[in-house]
Structure 1
Amino acid sequence: MSRNSDRLSGVDRPENEAQLERIRGSHPSRVGVGRTGSRPRTETLLEFRLDHAKARDAVTTHVSPKLVEELGLVGVQSRATSKTEYLADPGQGRDISDETADSVRQQCTMQPQVQIVVSDGLSSTAVEANVPDLLPVLLDGLADRGLDVGTPIFVEYGRVDVMDAIGEELDANCCVNLIGERPGLATNESLSAYFVYGPERGGATADKSVISNIHRDGIPPVEAGAEIAAVLEELCETKRNGFDTESR
């Protein structure tokens, strides 16, 4: 075996190359990358810095207004007025202003069985990478189940619990928030879907059901759309959240 072949895994002449590659292939962690003296290899360092930059960009950039329009989403903003305020004061991303509430009621269907919310959260990249494929499958799945779906909304500077404020204003039976997850060095494209039955302000995030790790290397967005539709159907039928012991 050549020296270049040994370097494919980053480790020179591993004692058990097959086992090393099984370990490396089982998860995205940076193992078996090798080193030069006491330092990481140049390639390893450059890859780390690139992934770190992608994670920072996911947090600080914005979802394209053109995408929001193409997806047919009603665009609103949380109480946060800027990305800086949003990151510094999470509470501002959990609610909407009175003016926004009025606008939502005027533009959106009232009393839907299901209200879909899309939020940038901590990764605008996740929204842009997954929602275009996920949303059509989700809408088709809900239509096939005969569920009444409200007007989908996009919330800029939105946290998970902004779904409670929107669901309460629209008097929705249940609500799902498709939101960008906190990015890491393994991926900056991970999306989560949070669910709540009977949304109302003040509901605890911990009391919501969730499907996480929606991205091309996790749960593919098309598959996630079908799973989310099934969960929403169950919420509408049981009239309770996953943690509840009694129907409402």
Structure 2
Amino acid sequence: MNDQLVSMITQLVMEKMEKNTGNQAPEVVAPPAEQSLIKIYDTVDNRPTEITESQTTSQGPLIKLYQHGAPQSEPIAPATLEQPFNTAVPIKPFQFEAESLTESVQAAKKHTPARIGVGRAGTRPKTKTWLKFRLDHAAAVDAVYGEVSEELLQKLDVFQVTTKVTDKEEYITRPDLGRRLSEESKALIQQKCKQQPKVQIIISNGLSASAIEENVQDVYLALQQSLSNLNIDIGTTFYIDKGRVALMDEIGELLQAEVIVYLIGERPGLVSAESMSAYLCYKPRIGTVEAERMVISNIHKGGIPPLEAGAYLGTVVQKILHYQASGVELVAKEG
């Protein structure tokens, strides 16, 4: 073959190969602009804080975080992937919702210790209310089943007698037995007590030994002082264990007293387990009706102060002796 022809063919083949190689080379494409993967929106001033990543994506932001209640005075620093997102919002301690009581309920709560406007948690009482209820109930049980201390009786310088009741359970279930003295007690009273006194004072735990422990000393001493100032004769005071109110009828008949003042612990409630009452009656005898009795009740630190109650009882006794009546009859005569 002609050398010149071979050279021309070779040159054409090389040019063809170079052209094909140039057509298959990858095109260099400029990377698109970086897009935000995460956008953090501050709802206070609505300024987004963006977190970018060097990797590219064709989609929009993957995560949007909204920070509610961020303080205006403290701008939020831009977050990074190495920093936890929840640290941007300050942690606040948990607080219970404030009680929203009407004005009438708030006014009533100021004038009564009763459980009103205490609220509920779902269908149940609130924990604080329930615990207070259990505490008051336990105090009421202790008041009923408790006993008056010997130290207090010695301070008052009184002797003790009993009724026909044998124990607390019988005292609660058999009120009739608490209205009668035992035979031994009758003999002891006749032996130690002054007969036919103007005023006979008797004390009993009744349904609340706590009431006697807390109040009787102040009431008794104030009553003694009041009657002494009024020149009213007082008989021999004694203490009755597990007595009922109507027991004053048998004692009145036994000692022939003109007026009996009976200091007794009242049935405890869930507001106070220390309430004491003073029952008064003019010449009580067996068969006396309740309308002939008088009572000064609610004697305790949250009701009538004991010292004030004792002084007031002296004036009531003076009125009973003056009109020779008590209860409804006294009201009628006085009116």
Q: TM-score, normalised by structure 1?
A: 0.90
Q: Distance in 1 between matches of 2:291 and 2:141?
A: 26
Counterpart residue number, 2:277: 192
The answer to whether 1:220 aligns with 2:326 is: no
The answer to whether 1:165 aligns with 2:250 is: yes
Q: Distance in 1 between matches of 2:285 and 2:165?
A: 19
Counterpart residue number, 1:138: 223
Counterpart of 2:260 (choices 153, 175, 185) is 175
Change (3 A) 1:175 1:15: closer
The answer to whether 1:12 aligns with 2:73 is: no
Q: Distance in 1 between matches of 2:281 and 2:254?
A: 14
AA partner of residue 29 (structure 1): A
Compute the displacement of 1:13 (Å).
4.2
Bigger Cα displacement from structure 2, 168-177 vs 234-243: 234-243
Compute the displacement of 1:21 (Å).
3.2
Change (3 A) 1:109 1:217: same
Q: Matched residue of 1:175: which SS?
A: strand
Counterpart residue number, 1:28: 113
Change (3 A) 1:13 1:124: closer
The answer to whether 1:37 aligns with 2:90 is: no
Cα RMSD over matched residues?
2.0
The answer to whether 1:242 aligns with 2:307 is: no
Counterpart residue number, 1:53: 138
CA contact (8 A) 2:222 2:310 kept: yes
Q: Distance in 2 between matches of 1:20 and 1:91?
A: 42
The answer to whether 1:202 aligns with 2:280 is: no
Q: Distance in 2 between matches of 1:237 and 1:129?
A: 32
Q: Matched residue of 2:316: which SS?
A: helix
Counterpart residue number, 2:16: none
Structure with max Cα Rg:
2
Compute the displacement of 1:161 (Å).
1.1
Counterpart residue number, 1:112: 197
CA contact (8 A) 1:78 1:158 kept: yes
Compute the displacement of 1:163 (Å).
1.3
Q: Distance in 2 between matches of 1:246 and 1:101?
A: 34
Change (3 A) 1:98 1:19: same
**Consecutive aligned runs of 4 or more in structure 1 exceeding 6 Å deviation:** none
Q: Distance in 2 between matches of 1:65 and 1:243?
A: 37
The answer to whether 1:67 aligns with 2:163 is: no
Counterpart residue number, 2:45: none
Q: Distance in 2 between matches of 1:166 and 1:120?
A: 16
AA partner of residue 235 (structure 1): I
CA contact (8 A) 1:122 1:182 kept: yes
Counterpart of 1:230 (choices 306, 315, 331) is 315
CA contact (8 A) 1:195 1:209 kept: yes
CA contact (8 A) 2:196 2:255 kept: yes
Compute the displacement of 1:19 (Å).
4.9
Instruction: Mark the runs of 5 or more structure 2 residues left unpaired by the alignment.
Output: 1-92
Q: Distance in 1 between matches of 2:269 and 2:142?
A: 11
Counterpart residue number, 1:76: 161
The answer to whether 1:121 aligns with 2:121 is: no
Q: Distance in 1 between matches of 2:262 and 2:152?
A: 17
Compute the displacement of 1:148 (Å).
0.6
Compute the displacement of 1:68 (Å).
1.2
The number of aligned residues is 239
Counterpart residue number, 1:93: 178
Instruction: Mark the runs of 5 or more structure 1 residues left unpaired by the alignment.
Output: none
AA partner of residue 161 (structure 1): A
Percent of counterpart pairs with the same letter?
Answer: 42
Counterpart of 2:187 (choices 102, 112, 118) is 102
- Give per-residue Cα distances to partners, 1:7-46, cap 9 Å, x unaligned: 7xxx734165x65432211101111212222221111110
Q: Matched residue of 1:227: which SS?
A: helix
Q: Matched residue of 2:152: which SS?
A: helix
- Give per-residue Cα distances to partners, 1:157-193, cap 9 Å, x unaligned: 1000111111221111110111111110010011111
Q: Which has the higher contact order (CA 8 A, sep 6+)?
A: 1
Q: Distance in 1 between matches of 2:208 and 2:99?
A: 39
CA contact (8 A) 1:181 1:191 kept: yes
